Chains A and B, each alone.
Chain A
């Protein structure tokens, strides 16, 4: 068959281009680990990878949310823990004062000790989140301290008022799942989440109970102190309920955190399966492409030197 001189060079150029573009392609697969990089490489894989990536971004965000909530829940728990100490100390005072054999001066000392507890409790009630500055027990109205106090001439707290509300924020921790770690400081509506310090459902009213106890100690009314002790028991019961609630929320958060991590790993696997390059295969192919390219260069360099002109007498 007749072959034109230029057919040689043209077809060689075509072959070189094909080989070098496949080499280039494989090289970028090896360096990125991805067999799909542009939408046109594999539209279906691109679509599913983009879907997976946005799901993965959501899962990463859930993990971040969960870790913020875990910090928040721990802060709430710490406040509850301190509060438990206060309540049990006050209850001890009430129990020992209620025995009726304590001198008035001792009772007055007790009263001032209770005042200390009231002040500690108020400061716990106005705890802020260390990162966001949000008040832990103000419901969703918490840009100012939720509990304000009235004091007498000597600076003793005689009344505590709740400024917050009874709502709590629900935060997303998984697709369609939200959780709340907030506890309102007080809820006297009889419905919704129970208040930590004052709650009409459980009868808890910590500040008023402590103030009454303090007043009864001051006035030496030891028979009333017995009632105060019973009231403090309601506060303690309410607190136990809240601590248990906090515990179960933290468990939920831990479970959600594991779930988010697992989801993220699963999505990563799915991305790798659809768009990832098989490294072993790609490396072998790259080697093949290099060898072919070298062979083509070498053979064409030899063939192109052949011409009748080499053999004609000059």
Chain B
């Protein structure tokens, strides 16, 4: 027999137990919108029985633990998915900027007929290039016309300016990609040291058998954020509670509460930042994450794009000058190069011609001022294949360059769509396990509330019984 006081004790413990239930429910409800929060439940256990002459007698129930509901397998899947998504997202964003910088789009106005685009035009270098060749052809038709000469010079200036702009914007993009590598590395370092210190805190919290649910949530969130930046390998330390060790590219950076090394962005000599370990100095090959996505886009598609645009400009300069320089202007002058500069960054129309387009050398002979042989050769460049451009014409080579950027971006777009679908699915699964459902919590709340009410009623009853016992003496 546990007696009246024993029962009173049981009722009071029950009040506490139900109160904890209300508390945990409240915590869940409060965190319904918290990113990374994993719902908790109260694990209530029956107290040990005591032996009596009539058999075992119950002594109520108490809180065994507050459990975090999570699925370790799902969590690790979400985490590795973050690396893949991060990689393709950063590729997509870099390539999208490149596409914008190249500014090669199709424009058109819809016609009222059932299926057609009228007046389709392209923006960017493509239209400028064919414009220049058209003006060369026009010059071949009227070689001494001032209007035709002026048109050639103006169009060539437009083309040169577009080359300069595209090049400088791609340069700027390269710079901003490098700085996003630096930013990514410093965010990763911050997360690495956070995780190391969380490992320490979790260890000490769990040392006396407790659980550190909210610290675990924070660490899971940090791990997910870190995975988005770089592909990490995790392992659980043996003998140190639930500490997570992190290595990147085979280099252990976090071991338990210890931060062994960090990441560092470094310049291997060509101005294009790469990543190595800060103390060990080991260059890292990252296999996923946004930092590597940025590096791959920068060194792959974008480097090719910029070099193709540059080759296009330099080939144009060489070819046009090679034909135009030895020619003669209508006034008999010769030797004025058409373009100055050596590539996309500095291509410009010779200032002598800008100031006086009449000096344009369209004739093959000083004594034939209205001869058009040189202009004709310049116009023919439009259909001449160039060995420097992989045996393609200027326009075709540029169209291929545009298409290869388009292909890369299309792949990135497709990957982002696919990976987003996978990520959404995994996150939905994760939140189905760990997320808070208000209806469920409210129902639980009512359960705990009613149980609390019942326990309170027990206290009142015992109180009445105790009163009855005490009044027995005076009666």
Contact = CB atoms under 8 A, between A and B. Distances in A.
Contacts of B367: 141, 165
B270 interface: no
Given A5-B436, A64-B138, A271 B372 contact: no
Contact of A172 (B32, B121, B376): B376
Nearest to A269: B116
Contacts of A54: 126, 129-130, 133, 382, 395, 399
A4 B145 CA distance: 76
A170 B432 contact: no
Contact of A32 (B108, B131, B137, B373): B108
A54 B106 CA distance: 13
Interface string B446-471: 10000000000000000000000000
A171 B148 CA distance: 14
- Residue among A34, A41, A131, A139 with max Cβ neighbours from chain B (10 Å): A34
B424 A279 contact: no
Contact of B407 (A14, A37, A43, A169): A43
A41 B108 CA distance: 15
A129 to B, nearest CB: 8
Given A33-B118, A46-B406, A65 B137 contact: yes
A58 B129 CA distance: 11
A35 to B, nearest CB: 9
Interface stretch (A201-209, A216-224, A236-244, A306-314): A306-314
Interface in A11-28: 11, 14
Interface in B199-235: none
Given A38-B105, A68-B141, A132-B145, A44 B437 contact: no
A69 interface: yes
B228 to A, nearest CB: 18
A37 B106 contact: yes
B142 A134 contact: yes
A205 B101 CA distance: 64
Contact of B99 (A39, A132, A140, A280): A39
Contacts of A34: 106-108, 117, 120
Interface residues of chain B: helix, strand, loop or mixed (majority): helix
B108 A7 contact: no
B181 interface: no
B2 to A, nearest CB: 36
A169 B140 contact: yes
Contact of A169 (B113, B130, B372): B372
A277 B130 CA distance: 25
Contacts of B317: none
Contacts of B143: 169
Given A38-B99, A132-B144, A4 B403 contact: no
B77 interface: no
B114 interface: yes
A7 B426 CA distance: 12
B412 to A, nearest CB: 8
Interface in A106-147: 131-134, 138-143
A115 B122 CA distance: 60
Given A53-B121, A167-B371, A39 B403 contact: yes
Given A50-B126, A53-B126, A6 B33 contact: yes
A275 interface: yes
Given A46-B106, A165-B367, A272 B115 contact: yes
A46 B401 CA distance: 11
A260 to B, nearest CB: 12
A68 B142 contact: yes
A6 B431 contact: yes
Contacts of A271: 117, 120
A49 B432 contact: no
A1 B432 CA distance: 8
B98 to A, nearest CB: 10
B410 A134 contact: no
Contacts of A3: 432, 437
B409 A39 contact: yes
B413 A171 contact: no
Nearest to B405: A39
A278 to B, nearest CB: 5
Contacts of A69: 141
Contacts of B431: 4, 6-7, 10
Interface string A153-174: 0000000000001010111100
Interface string B371-411: 11100100110110000000000011011101111110110
Interface string B90-109: 00000110010010111111
Interface string A236-275: 0000000000000000000000000000000010011001
A57 B121 CA distance: 10
Given A272-B115, A308-B442, A47 B403 contact: yes
B249 interface: no
Please indicate which of the listed interface residues B122, B129, B406 has the most CB atoms of chain A within 10 Å of its own CB. B406
A175 interface: yes
B137 A61 contact: yes
A134 B144 contact: yes
Nearest to B394: A54
A221 to B, nearest CB: 40
B435 A32 contact: no
A284 B43 CA distance: 57
Closest 10 CB pairs of A and B: A4-B435, A39-B406, A33-B110, A43-B406, A33-B117, A47-B403, A40-B409, A57-B130, A140-B371, A61-B134
29 contacts: A2-B433, A7-B435, A10-B424, A10-B427, A11-B424, A14-B424, A32-B117, A33-B109, A34-B106, A34-B107, A34-B120, A38-B99, A38-B406, A40-B409, A41-B410, A47-B406, A50-B402, A53-B120, A58-B137, A64-B141, A132-B142, A140-B368, A143-B144, A169-B140, A169-B376, A170-B372, A176-B383, A278-B114, A307-B438
Interface of A: 1-7, 10-11, 14, 30-34, 36-44, 46-51, 53-54, 57-58, 60-62, 64-65, 68-69, 131-134, 138-143, 165, 167, 169-172, 175-176, 178, 268, 271-272, 275-280, 307-309, 312
Given A5-B32, A176-B383, A280-B115, 5 more contacts: A7-B432, A10-B424, A32-B117, A172-B140, A272-B120
